[in-house]
Structure 1
């Protein structure tokens, strides 16, 4: 019997991470690393036994846990958090934690698997970034900064990978708002997330380096406006988010 390859999903206990786990478990063994157990209410009972779980908080100092996972061929990092808030209202502790979880943890995890990513053997990597990393994002200043750092890191390392001769790449997945997750204090609804999960898997398996969902429909024009006048687009973003907060 041929042993299934294993996928490691960091932050896969809910939202898009869990949706990816449910899609990939059909073909691979899935290991979820997160600080909370998976939302088993969203997992069909007949496949629960196919998903394993290890508890880990990305704010921990010791990342040696990731050295144990030497049998994976796929690494997906979906962990991260954000909060609509003016910078003046953010606590310093929140700033430190957000950069640590959204940015530093990703670099550290990728470092632990870089030998596999850098090799000639096919290895698949995807990181959930955000469209907020491509432009100014008032009310999301620290979150956007954490994602902008990831964007530049991934772009830079992908050049290094190409120049080293490997076909492996790190896929930057940069969506806008995703329906079906608890990011905005909503509820997990995997049926809404499966189409996006399928697209991510497609781009990852083709070892692409960038995927912006709804690029042609929405974000191509947004990014063009931003590059023409980042100040005006920033003000537009401020007013849009201010309206979002009023509706809450």
Structure 2
């Protein structure tokens, strides 16, 4: 019997490439998104079910899982990919923006996992893959809320992996960084514009220079990330974290791992202080 994967946030970027990659490797795919009526690229494949799932709508989560099981018989792997990045100065960010960041990146993941766990327990197996970020391991300026949500996701996923291992359910974390997706464009739309505080202008300008250098670096593609996700789903081991990114991402991950805490803080500061 073919295996089946449910992917959240499959309308674009990593989610869409993962849907295509799993389907090309003979998996059934439940490609979920907030507006499935707009999808055209994934249609026409009998092994792909396109259905609505909004991680901020618990009823839609339950309905999508039920639709997938009804069509394909079971779900073997859940990929929690839906997410976005809130950029900007924390002080200037509206309360709704703060709560939305955690509703999507943290609580939406938790709600989706909680909804599928009875199915996995009944089958006595299953794999959960949470798409985190390099920002779940290290921080840089202007992403305090995004980093906080991904740090939370990393801690939740790691602790959850221990309790679910006793039930033969695996939890894995994929950590992309320096990827060529539409994530930056979507995130820029979420830049905090609710309040302008002029005192931060010099800092914002210097941090923007640092970000430009990161954007100019060679990036890995969404397909590259989809390959890593597929490997995490099929490698039959208990490995928890799967980082994937460009050279700049690799340097920052290595710095966070190998430097002392203060050395790392000084390393990040040096990246934008030179523009002040």
**How does the TM-score come out when normalised to structure 1?**
0.80
Cα 1:51–1:89 change in 2 (3 A) is same
Q: Tell me whether 1:193 sits opposite 2:216 in the alignment.
A: no
Q: Which runs of 5+ in 1 are unaligned?
A: 244-248
Match of 2:23 among 13, 25, 34: 25
Aligned residues: 230
Query: Which ranges of structure 2 fall in alignment gaps of 5 or more residues?
Result: 187-219
Distance 1:152 1:127, change over 3 A: same
Deviations 1:179-227 (CA, angstroms, capped at 9, x unpaired): 1x211118xxxx9322221122112222431111149943442213664
The alignment status of 1:133 with 2:136, answered yes or no, reads yes
Conserved in 2, the CA contact under 8 Å of 1:16 and 1:197? yes
The structure with more radius of gyration: 2
Of the structure 1 ranges 212-221 and 120-129, higher mean CA displacement relative to structure 2 is found in 212-221
Cα shift readout 1:149-193 (whole Å, capped 9, x = no counterpart): 11001100111233x262x321111121311x211118xxxx932
| Aligned partner of 1:228 among 232, 247, 261 | 261
Q: How far apart, in 2, do the equivalents of 1:127 and 1:196 lie?
A: 13
Q: Displacement of 1:118 after TM fit?
A: 5.0
CA 1:49 to 1:118, structure 2 compared with 1: closer, same or farther past 3 Å? Answer: closer
Structure 2 vs 1, CA of residues 60 and 25 (structure 1 numbering), >3 Å: closer, same or farther?
A: same
Instruction: Give the superposition deviation at 1:37.
Output: 2.9
Q: TM-score scaled by structure 2?
A: 0.72
Q: 1:147 aligns with which of 150, 158, 170?
A: 150
- CA distance in structure 1 between the partners assigned to 2:246 and 2:172 by the alignment: 15
Q: 1:81 maps to what in 2? A: 84
